[in-house]
Amino acid sequence: MNNPATPLLQLDSVETYYGPLRALSGVSLTVAEGTITVILGSNGAGKSTLLGTIMGVLDGQPHRGTITFRGQRIDGMATEKIVRAGISYVPEGRRVFPELTVSENLKVGAYTVRDRQSTRRTLERVHDYFPLLADRQTQPAGTLSGGEQQMLAIGRALMNEPELLLLDEPSLGLAPLLVRQVFDIVSQIRDEGVTVLLVEQNARMALKVADDGVVLESGELVVSGTAAELVDNDEVEELYMGAATTASEQEAASTASEREAQGGAQHDVDLES
Ligand SMILES: Nc1ncnc2c1ncn2[C@@H]1O[C@H](COP(=O)(O)OP(=O)(O)O)[C@@H](O)[C@H]1O
Ligand SMILES: [Mg+2]
């Protein structure tokens, strides 16, 4: 099932512009099937632009270069076709339909799937990942907390039964306990066979669950390698795993151990191993 030698997604010399501004310059990237690949980089580096370019949501972009999914060119394709080809996307800011209930939001996510039985099975899986979504089926999504909306946004993306899931800063603005839960679930999703391309600023946390990683700086890939190589990279260490991250990480770890002490852990994956 997991064949790290098979590139599921391949970008070759991709360039993306906003008007005259070149936001991506010659980005070449390979995402192996069955992995979590993390895109690190500071604010404005072009991380969201990279995901948007893959999804075809930026008008007329990429300007140059090619994007190949399962050997098929997807650059220049309409977003809906890209979704149908098997890529789901959770943009920054956990967008859900606030007026729709939790269960309606999940149904919307399944719009590309014809097979009702399959949708039912996927819904069960999503409820297993996120038990709170099963408990809140009739609640309007807009009344969920930020963390709950993020869970719903990821759950909705999974309803499309993607082969590749693009996540843009899923942990942003979440309490440390929820950050830990989101990362646990992302690694479970990968373990069940969905390839994940993850944008994160929380490098330390992300590199614990990721298999591979790249660093984007001013629209260019400056480092790429395995997660272990990135952890050992001095530049990555200095720029993205400084004191601030360490503090929130420690907080996350202690909150997680409190939760485990209370026996409330629902998605335990040992991130330290
Ligand atoms: N819609 C837009 N119009 C013009 N410039 C944009 C737009 N979106 C992003 N940019 C610019 O492109 C660069 C990369 O942005 P972005 O991909 O959002 O970075 P990141 O996600 O890494 O923070 C930044 O300089 C940003 O200001
Ligand atoms: Mg961004």
For the stretch 94-111, pLDDT in tens is 789 999 999 999 999 998
Residue ID of nearest Cα to ligand 1 atom 7: 18
If you search the block for the tokens 């001013």, which residue do you land on? 218
Provide φ and ψ at 89, rounded to 5°.
-135, 125
Comparing CA positions, the residue from 152, 216, 204 lying closest to residue 180 is 204
In this prediction, residue 263 carries a pLDDT of: 43
- Kindly state the average pLDDT of the residues 9-26: 97
Question: In which residue ranges of the chain is CATH 3.40.50.300 found?
Answer: 1-86+162-258
- Distance, CA 45 to ligand 2 centroid (Å)? 8
For the CA of 19, the nearest atom of ligand 1:
4
- Distance, CA 270 to ligand 1 centroid (Å)? 35
- Distance, CA 52 to ligand 2 centroid (Å)? 10
Pocket of ligand 1 (CB under 6 A): 18, 21, 23, 41, 43-49
Per-residue pLDDT at 3 exceeds 60: no
Q: Is 115 helix (H, G, I), strand (E, B) or coil?
A: coil
In this prediction, residue 242 carries a pLDDT of: 61
The proportion of the chain whose per-residue pLDDT surpasses 70, expressed as a percent, equals: 86
Question: Which string of b and e fits 52-85 if b means at least 16 CB within 10 Å?
Answer: bbbbbebeebbebbebbbbeeebbebeeeebbeb
Residue ID of nearest Cα to ligand 1 atom 3: 18
Strand order, beta sheet including 212-217: 87-90, 164-168, 195-199, 36-40, 212-217, 220-226
For the CA of 58, the nearest atom of ligand 1:
1
Per-residue pLDDT at 262 exceeds 70: no
| Cβ atoms 199, 51 nearer than 8 A | yes
Q: Is 124 left (phi over 0), alpha (psi -120 to 50) or beta?
A: alpha
- Distance, CA 17 to ligand 1 centroid (Å)? 10
Q: Which structure tokens are listed for 102?
A: 């939790």
Per-residue pLDDT at 144 exceeds 70: yes
In this prediction, residue 251 carries a pLDDT of: 53
Model-level pTM? 0.87
Q: Which structure tokens are listed for 88?
A: 């789901």
In this prediction, residue 163 carries a pLDDT of: 97
For the CA of 42, the nearest atom of ligand 1:
22
Residue ID of nearest Cα to ligand 1 atom 1: 18
For the CA of 46, the nearest atom of ligand 1:
17
Q: Which structure tokens are listed for 155?
A: 């759950």
User: Which whole-number Å values give the CA distances from 130 to 14, 163, 185, 188, in the listed order?
Assistant: 36, 19, 9, 12
Q: Which among 14, 15, 21, 51 is the best mutation to test ligand 1's pocket, defined by most ligand atoms within 8 Å of the CB?
A: 21
Q: What is the Cα–Cα distance from 216 to 211, expressed in whole angstroms?
A: 17
- Distance, CA 92 to ligand 2 centroid (Å)? 7
Least confident of 32-41, 108-117, 211-220: 108-117
What amino acid occupies position 36?
A: I
35-60 pLDDT, tens digit each = 999 999 999 999 999 999 999 999 99
223-240 pLDDT, tens digit each = 999 999 999 998 888 877
Q: Which residue has the higher pLDDT, 193 or 242?
A: 193
The proportion of the chain whose per-residue pLDDT surpasses 90, expressed as a percent, equals: 72
57-75 pLDDT, tens digit each = 999 999 999 999 999 999 9
Please tell me the CATH code under which domain 1-86+162-258 is placed.
3.40.50.300
Provide φ and ψ at 2, rounded to 5°.
-90, 105
In this prediction, residue 63 carries a pLDDT of: 97
Q: What is the Cα–Cα distance from 88 to 113, expressed in whole angstroms?
A: 13
146-172 pLDDT, tens digit each = 999 999 999 999 999 999 999 999 999
